[in-house]
């Protein structure tokens, strides 16, 4: 028995030895090769690897390959193809290895589900890290030994984006890739825990312009382009056509293509270029494979990766077969797809595929084509290579210079090595926000000389905020140049609509904070005082005249007074000359009187003139008829002077009376002055809502008064004959609609200025800041009454925008620095357009010189006339005519006893002087 047993053992040993010898000579490896439709580079490189092995007889490897094409979008079709080819292989030659070069999505996950369920040894080159491999997640210890995944270069290069974003502090990124890259699995993981808004999309060559403009609409400023040279040229050309090459945008190109110069239509611009560099250590090997073994697929780095991975996978299988470890496992026990039972999960135990595969890269007799493999766990295995980082300057469509700035060694934890820090730091997009504005002087107004095209309080405010938060901005005008209001259907327009549609990041201007606006956008903390609504009216101008005192009486009255003056003077002269009782005709009767007056025509004119003054006319005529005329003239003069004095005071006072409208209440009670706010403004919204509130209150009061469910006592407590609430705003709204709403502030100002006076015409209701500025820059407008419905001004941002908190911080900082007060001082008190207006007469002040100055002119004219008369008298009596005047003293010395001669001399003297 022992001899028989020993013989059996010997026979088995001989058979095994023979098998080993045979297998050492020629190892037949059955490969189920699964590739994704569209992954031509893998197909070509793997075929080159198969051909390379078959042309190396020293390796003693014979390949039996069954190919399966996987569909990324149709897992059911892929699974059927896998099962069909796998079941056919089981009939003749079960697969030793599944070589998987699918990239991502359903194709990759279907293959992984298939191989894990049937416990098939697999080496995969699919994209994704550990958490991305859904079907190979949570592998047990045995499965980790034969289910192996190595990341291709195209899955590793995008990791550089994370390094660049972190180093350059990029806040927004557009990641665009072609079919040579697959980033779908990186949507969540690529920029995880980095505060960067980003969008990942595959490039559509037919709609590239539309894609870029959509990125601009989303306000993405940094563009990462992952693709081959053809794709890069397509994107850069589109970017140049659409004016993307300015300081607001930055382009980062990451490609697998080697060092051929980029070609594009960019006439003036700079891009960041990252591309792989061939390792000098493996360059001869790489060139040999390209020329001799048709390793010509592009990109070369990807082709080299698939080639080396296939070669090492086959060597691993050969080594397992040679040392017999493959036959010591239960690898020969295969089941079909139909026999699979998910409740009885199968495991290929004892197969150390991972260990031998990892060891193979250290002991391989084959030099790598591009770089060595770093084999770790699934998701962390990759090929070592180096990416050169350069700044490429374009001029007139060609590369003008290339500036090396660093390099990056492949790896998930590898950092960027910078060799030119200054150049790298200078390349970045300037953080630029789109600011939408609605014009309102002095907050926002057009200024072609200003770099932003606009100027004003808010532009200075945004400049200061930009200095604090380190950003720049571009100004765009709001739709229809309106702040925005909501219509009856809940639709918005103007600046608010632009923010809602993401056309702008910040709304700038004197934007009133309103509840309905806060429901669709967000506001920062207020940057300006509470501002209300007020009334703007025309200033009541009273026409001034130096001779205004003459306009108290009509011209006809003055003519009559002058006529009466000359007529009365003439009558007194006639009566004195004809009356026998006058001094002229009867001097003996009045010899004892001290005051005697000879009423010549000149004396009569003087008498009548002086009778109208407080000084009086002097000695009256002696005759009764003359005295009667004088008394009548005195009575006439008293009445005329009294009437003139009273009317002069009233006339000068009435022109200085203030406008009767002093409040909104006064405005609502009168009917001569039309009034209205600007159409679509927040003021118009306020009055419309107040009207609606009054209407709602009336309906509530009516319901309470007519409520049948209330008791008689309760109803009696609420019962009044008339509606108890004033409907002021309802009446005002009707009056506004009849007056017509101005379409713009300019139209409103023009209507106010056309008002005939302050008591008739048009009054404008608007923001107090508008009216205050108009008062400051014009002299014929003024605010009336107190402000009402006061609201703060704030900056607006998109709803839930992170800019809100940043803006709040900056505004509060400016407030603490008192810089907002400085802006207010600049644009209000020191505004160059501020005018100095002539002060209007105040009712409490005296009569102005403009209205009474003519009296002084009369005095000056009288003095001038007196001087002329004096000169004439001097010339006439001294130079031209001998004097006949005899002094009284000389006459008394010549004839001291002659009383008649003395009287004649005295009378002659007076007549001559007069």
Q: Which residue has the higher pLDDT, 150 or 624?
A: 150
Residue 521 scores a pLDDT above 70:
yes
When pLDDT is averaged across residues 907-914 and rounded to a whole number, the result is 40
Single pTM value for the model: 0.60
When pLDDT is averaged across residues 254-265 and rounded to a whole number, the result is 85
* Length of the chain as a residue count: 914
Residue 405 scores a pLDDT above 90:
yes
| Residue 14, pLDDT score | 57
Q: Using alpha carbons, list the distances in angstroms from residue 620 to 563, 592, 603.
A: 21, 16, 11
Which of 272-276, 281-285, 571-575, 586-590 is the most confident on average? 272-276
Which of 3-17, 63-77, 324-338 has the lowest average pLDDT? 3-17
Which of 95-104, 283-292, 430-439, 888-897 has the lowest average pLDDT? 888-897
pLDDT above 90 covers what percent of the chain? 16
Contact 590, 621 (CB under 8 A): no
Which of 538-552, 573-587, 704-718 has the lowest average pLDDT? 538-552
| Residue 547, pLDDT score | 64
Q: How confident is the model at residue 911 (pLDDT cuts 50, 70, 90)?
A: very low
Which of 86-90, 286-290, 522-526, 840-844 has the lowest average pLDDT? 840-844
Residue 894 scores a pLDDT above 50:
no
Which of 131-145, 194-208, 521-535, 839-853 has the lowest average pLDDT? 839-853
**Whole-angstrom distance, CA of residue 371 vs CA of residue 386:** 9
Residue 483 scores a pLDDT above 50:
yes
**Whole-angstrom distance, CA of residue 191 vs CA of residue 699:** 58
* 637-661 pLDDT per residue, tens: 778 788 878 877 776 666 555 456 7
Which of 109-113, 379-383, 459-463, 855-859 has the lowest average pLDDT? 855-859
Residue 667 scores a pLDDT above 70:
yes
Q: Which residue has the higher pLDDT, 674 or 843?
A: 674
Which of 6-20, 260-274, 459-473, 559-573 has the lowest average pLDDT? 6-20
Residue 486 scores a pLDDT above 70:
yes
Q: Which residue has the higher pLDDT, 620 or 846?
A: 620
* 48-92 pLDDT per residue, tens: 888 888 887 777 888 888 898 888 888 888 888 888 888 888 888
| Residue 170, pLDDT score | 85
Q: Using alpha carbons, list the distances in angstroms from residue 690 to 668, 682, 762.
A: 14, 12, 22
- Nearest to 664, CA basis, from 785, 748, 789, 762: 785
**Collapsing DSSP states into helix, strand and coil, what is residue 306?**
helix
| Residue 858, pLDDT score | 58
When pLDDT is averaged across residues 572-598 and rounded to a whole number, the result is 72
Q: Which residue has the higher pLDDT, 629 or 381?
A: 381
**Whole-angstrom distance, CA of residue 578 vs CA of residue 739:** 74
| Residue 655, pLDDT score | 54
- Nearest to 678, CA basis, from 567, 763, 574: 763
Strands 472-477 and 432-437: parallel
What's the mean per-residue pLDDT of the chain?
81
When pLDDT is averaged across residues 209-216 and rounded to a whole number, the result is 89
* 92-109 pLDDT per residue, tens: 888 888 999 998 888 888
Residue with token string 């022992």? 2
Which of 413-417, 667-671, 855-859 has the lowest average pLDDT? 855-859
**Beta-carbon-side half-sphere exposure of residue 854 (alpha carbons within 13 Å):** 9
Q: How confident is the model at residue 859 (pLDDT cuts 50, 70, 90)?
A: low
| Residue 653, pLDDT score | 63
Angle, vertex CA 74, rays to CA 69 and CA 79, nearest 5: 60
Which of 36-45, 352-361, 518-527, 793-802 has the lowest average pLDDT? 352-361
| Residue 909, pLDDT score | 40
**Collapsing DSSP states into helix, strand and coil, what is residue 76?**
helix
Alpha helices in 329-452 (DSSP H): 353-363, 421-426
Strands 268-277 and 250-254: parallel
Q: Which residue has the higher pLDDT, 290 or 848?
A: 290
Contact 1, 35 (CB under 8 A): no
When pLDDT is averaged across residues 111-124 and rounded to a whole number, the result is 89
* 588-603 pLDDT per residue, tens: 776 766 666 777 777 8
**Beta-carbon-side half-sphere exposure of residue 624 (alpha carbons within 13 Å):** 0
**Whole-angstrom distance, CA of residue 573 vs CA of residue 125:** 138
| Residue 5, pLDDT score | 62
* 428-468 pLDDT per residue, tens: 877 788 899 998 888 999 988 888 889 999 999 999 999 99
Q: How confident is the model at residue 6 (pLDDT cuts 50, 70, 90)?
A: low
Q: Buried b / exposed e across 833-842, counting CB within 10 Å, b at 16+?
A: eeeeeeeebe
Q: Using alpha carbons, list the distances in angstroms from residue 207 to 232, 234, 238, 242, 332.
A: 14, 11, 10, 13, 52
* 699-743 pLDDT per residue, tens: 887 777 777 777 777 777 777 767 777 788 888 899 999 888 998
Instruction: Give Cβ neighbours of residue 269 (< 8 Å, ≥ 6 apart).
Output: 240, 245, 251, 393, 394
Q: What is the 3 state secondary structure string of 536-555? A: EEECCCCCCCCCHHHHHCCH
């Amino acid at each position: 028995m022992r001899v028989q047993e020993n013989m059996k053992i010997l026979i088995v040993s001989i058979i095994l030895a023979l098998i080993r010898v045979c297998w050492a000579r020629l190892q037949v490896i059955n490969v189920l090769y699964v590739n994704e439709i569209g992954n031509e580079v893998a197909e070509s490189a793997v075929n080159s690897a198969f051909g390379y092995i078959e042309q190396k007889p020293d390796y003693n490897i014979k390949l039996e390959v069954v190919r399966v094409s996987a569909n990324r979008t149709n897992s059911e079709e892929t699974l059927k193809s896998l099962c069909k080819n796998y079941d056919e292989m089981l009939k003749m030659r079960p697969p030793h290895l599944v070589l998987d070069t699918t990239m991502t999505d359903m194709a990759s996950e279907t293959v992984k589900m298939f191989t894990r369920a049937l416990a098939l040894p697999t080496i995969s080159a699919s994209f994704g890290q550990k958490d991305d491999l859904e079907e190979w997640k949570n592998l047990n210890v045995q499965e980790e030994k034969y289910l192996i995944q190595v990341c291709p270069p195209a899955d590793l290069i995008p990791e550089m984006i994370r390094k660049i974003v972190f180093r350059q502090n990029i806040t927004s990124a557009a990641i665009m890739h072609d079919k040579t890259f697959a980033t779908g699995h990186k949507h969540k993981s690529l920029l995880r825990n980095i505060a960067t808004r980003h969008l990942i999309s595959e490039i559509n060559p037919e709609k590239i312009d539309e894609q870029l403009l959509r990125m601009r609409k989303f306000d993405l400023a940094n563009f990462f382009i992952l693709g081959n040279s053809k794709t890069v040229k397509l994107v850069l050309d589109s970017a140049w056509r659409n004016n993307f090459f300015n300081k607001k945008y930055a382009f980062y190109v990451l490609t697998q293509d080697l060092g051929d110069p980029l070609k594009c239509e960019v006439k003036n611009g700079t891009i960041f270029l990252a591309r792989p560099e061939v390792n000098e250590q493996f360059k001869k090997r790489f060139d040999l494979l390209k020329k001799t073994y048709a390793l010509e697929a592009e990109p070369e780095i990807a082709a080299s990766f698939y080639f080396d991975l296939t070669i090492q996978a086959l060597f691993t299988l050969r080594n397992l077969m040679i040392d017999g470890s493959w036959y010591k496992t239960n690898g020969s026990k295969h089941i079909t797809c139909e026999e699979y039972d998910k409740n009885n999960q199968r495991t290929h135990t004892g197969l150390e595929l991972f260990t031998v595969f990892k060891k193979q890269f250290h002991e391989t007799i084959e030099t790598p084509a591009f770089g060595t493999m770093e084999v770790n766990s699934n998701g962390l295995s990759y090929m070592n290579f180096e990416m050169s980082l350069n700044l490429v300057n374009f001029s007139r469509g060609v590369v003008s210079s290339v500036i090396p700035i660093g390099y990056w060694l492949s790896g998930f934890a590898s950092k960027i090595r910078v060799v030119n820090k200054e150049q790298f730091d200078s390349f970045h997009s300037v953080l630029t926000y789109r600011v939408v504005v609605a014009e309102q002087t002095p907050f926002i107004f057009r200024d072609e000389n200003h770099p932003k095209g606009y100027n004003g309080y808010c532009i200075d405010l945004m400049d200061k905020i930009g200095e604090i938060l380190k950003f720049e901005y571009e100004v765009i005008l709001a739709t229809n140049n309106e702040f925005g209001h909501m219509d009856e259907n809940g639709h918005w327009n103007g600046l608010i609509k632009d923010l809602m549609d993401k056309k702008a990041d910040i709304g700038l201007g004197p934007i009133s904070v309103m509840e309905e606006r806060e429901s669709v956008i967000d506001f920062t903390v207020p940057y300006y005082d509470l501002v209300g609504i007020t009334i703007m009216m025309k200033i009541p101008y009273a026409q001034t005249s130096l001779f205004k005192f003459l306009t108290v009486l009509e011209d006809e009255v003055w003519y009559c007074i002058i006529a009466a003056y000359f007529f009365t003077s003439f009558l007194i002269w006639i009566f004195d000359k004809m009356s026998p009782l006058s001094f002229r005709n009867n001097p003996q009767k009045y010899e004892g009187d001290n005051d005697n007056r000879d009423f010549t025509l000149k004396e009569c004119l003087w008498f009548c003139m002086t009778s109208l003054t407080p000084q009086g006319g002097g000695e009256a005529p002696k005759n009764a008829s003359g005295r009667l005329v004088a008394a009548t003239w005195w009575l006439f003069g008293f009445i005329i002077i009294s009437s003139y004095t009273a009317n002069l005071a009233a006339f000068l006072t009435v022109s200085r009376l203030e406008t009767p409208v002093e409040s909104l209440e006064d405005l609502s009670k009168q009917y001569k002055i039309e009034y209205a706010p600007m159409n679509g403004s927040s003021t118009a919204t306020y009055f419309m809502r107040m009207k609606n509130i009054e209407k709602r209150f009336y309906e509530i009061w009516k319901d309470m008064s007519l409520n049948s469910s209330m008791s008689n006592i309760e109803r009696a407590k609420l019962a009044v004959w008339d509606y108890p609430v004033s409907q002021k705003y309802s009446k005002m709204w009707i009056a506004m609609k009849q007056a017509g709403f101005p379409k713009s502030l300019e139209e409103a100002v023009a209507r106010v200025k056309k008002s005939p006076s302050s008591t008739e015409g048009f009054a404008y209701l608007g923001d107090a800041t508008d009216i205050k500025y108009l008062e400051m820059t014009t002299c014929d407008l003024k605010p009336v009454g107190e402000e009402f419905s006061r609201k703060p001004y704030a900056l607006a941002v998109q709803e839930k925008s992170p800019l809100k908190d940043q803006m709040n911080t900056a505004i509060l900082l400016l407030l603490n620095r008192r810089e907002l007060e400085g802006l207010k001082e600049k644009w209000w008190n020191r505004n160059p357009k501020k005018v100095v207006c002539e002060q209007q007469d105040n009712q409490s002040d005296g009569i102005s010189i403009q209205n009474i100055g003519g009296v002084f002119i009369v005095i000056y004219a009288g003095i001038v006339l007196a001087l002329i008369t004096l000169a004439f008298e001097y010339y006439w009596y001294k130079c031209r005519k001998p004097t006949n005047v005899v002094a009284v003293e000389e006459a008394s010395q010549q004839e001291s006893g002659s009383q008649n001669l003395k009287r004649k001399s005295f009378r002659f003297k007076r007549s001559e002087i007069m």
